């Protein structure tokens, strides 16, 4: 019995197994703190512990890298909001859960007003900053309450479990006012730019037959908000239902 050592059967070098008369000090070793004896490699336990620690560290790095990759798949890199891909999976799950249970679920659509002018008149860096700041305002407001997605371009979608249309409309109005307070310095001048957003709101009680239809209802409310002058919140009602919007 050896105290403080570990015996490892050699399988990688046949010549070492065949010639057992070869002195230990002539056997090549690539592992510090090890030696060969009678076809076995003898490792100091301290060195073996070091090797195991390195293996654990490598495994943790792989896990962290995988988690980071998963986050990148579902997160919009510019705004930090969840992306359209994540929404495709999660929105349907929320719809199914809340239609089956009868719990409230509402949907809000936010669109940055006159966004094209930020890009055209002040540069894309300014436009990006507008989106970052709006995304930050939405994430901060709905943290732990709702799920925020960058729906596309300057449009954001928020799903609010446990909130009906009246509650979500009230929250949307507060967020609209928060966005209205955002000021951003132009990337091409010293001008301070003001940001506003139009908002559409709906919920499960508005007779949508699918998750996609509920989102479309909120989007129609958003078009109505644009028609009525922007920087307002419009909730789904008969007027919106009967209005005709361009595709």
Compute the distance between CA of residue 178 and CA of residue 134 in angstroms, rounded to an integer.
9
Q: Please tell me the predicted confidence (pLDDT) of residue 124.
A: 94
Query: What whole-number percentage of the chain has pLDDT above 90?
Result: 63
Q: Is the pLDDT of residue 110 over 90?
A: yes
Is 213 tagged catalytic? Answer: no
Question: How much is the average pLDDT of 196-214?
Answer: 96
Q: Residue 63 — very low, low, confident or very high, per pLDDT cuts 50/70/90?
A: low
- Mean pLDDT value across the chain: 82
Handedness of CA 15, 20, 21, 22 (dihedral sign): positive
Neighbours of 48 (CB within 10 A): 16
Specify the range with the lowest mean pLDDT, choosing from 11-15, 79-83, 147-151: 11-15
Q: What values do phi and psi take at 40, rounded to 5?
A: -120, 155
Beta partners for residue 200, in sequence order: 109, 234
Q: What is the model's pLDDT at position 166?
A: 96
Q: Find tokens 């609209």 and name the residue.
A: 176
Residue 41 pLDDT grade (very low, low, confident, very high; cuts 50, 70, 90): low
Has residue 247 got a pLDDT over 60? Answer: no
Does residue 130 register a pLDDT over 90?
yes
What pLDDT, in 10s, does the model give residues 74-90? 899 999 999 998 998 89
Say which CATH topology domain 84-242 has. Alpha-Beta Plaits (3.30.70)
Q: Give residue limits of the domains in the chain.
A: 5-74, 84-242
- For residue 35, the model assigns a pLDDT of 53
Residue 193 has pLDDT above 80, yes or no: yes
pLDDT of 64: 54
- Confidence (pLDDT) at 39: 52
**Confidence at residue 54, expressed as pLDDT on a 0 to 100 scale:** 79
Taking residues 175-193, what's their average pLDDT? 92
Task: Identify the active-site residue in 47, 68, 100, 154.
Answer: 154
- pLDDT surpasses 90 at 98: yes
| pLDDT, position 189 | 84
Strand partners, 9: 40
List pLDDT tens digits, range 225-243: 999 999 999 999 999 999 8
Higher pLDDT, 200 or 73: 200
Query: Encoding tokens for residue 81?
Result: 């909001």
| DSSP letters for 170-188 | HHHHHHHHHHHT-EEE-SS
């Amino acid at each position: 019995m050896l105290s403080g050592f570990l015996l490892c059967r050699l399988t990688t070098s046949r010549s070492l197994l065949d010639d057992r008369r070869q002195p230990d000090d002539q056997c090549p070793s690539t592992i510090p703190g090890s030696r060969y004896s009678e076809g076995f490699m003898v490792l100091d336990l301290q060195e073996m512990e070091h090797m195991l620690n390195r293996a654990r560290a490598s495994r943790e790095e792989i896990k962290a890298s995988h988690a980071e990759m998963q986050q990148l798949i579902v997160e919009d890199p510019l705004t930090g909001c969840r992306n359209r891909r994540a929404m495709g999976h999660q929105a349907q799950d929320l719809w199914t859960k809340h239609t089956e249970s009868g719990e409230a679920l509402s949907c809000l659509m936010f669109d940055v007003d006159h966004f094209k002018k930020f890009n055209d008149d002040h540069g894309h860096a300014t436009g990006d900053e507008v989106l970052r700041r709006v995304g930050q305002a939405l994430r901060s407001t709905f943290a732990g309450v709702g799920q925020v997605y960058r729906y596309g371009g300057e449009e954001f979608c928020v799903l609010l479990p446990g909130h009906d249309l009246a509650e979500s409309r009230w929250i949307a109005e507060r967020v609209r006012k928060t966005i209205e307070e955002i000021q951003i310095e132009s990337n091409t001048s010293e001008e301070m730019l003001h940001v506003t957003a139009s908002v559409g709101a709906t919920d499960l009680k508005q007779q949508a037959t699918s998750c996609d239809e509920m989102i479309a209802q909120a989007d129609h409310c958003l078009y109505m908000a644009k028609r009525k002058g922007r920087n307002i919140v419009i909730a789904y009602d008969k007027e919106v239902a009967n209005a005709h919007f361009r595709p």
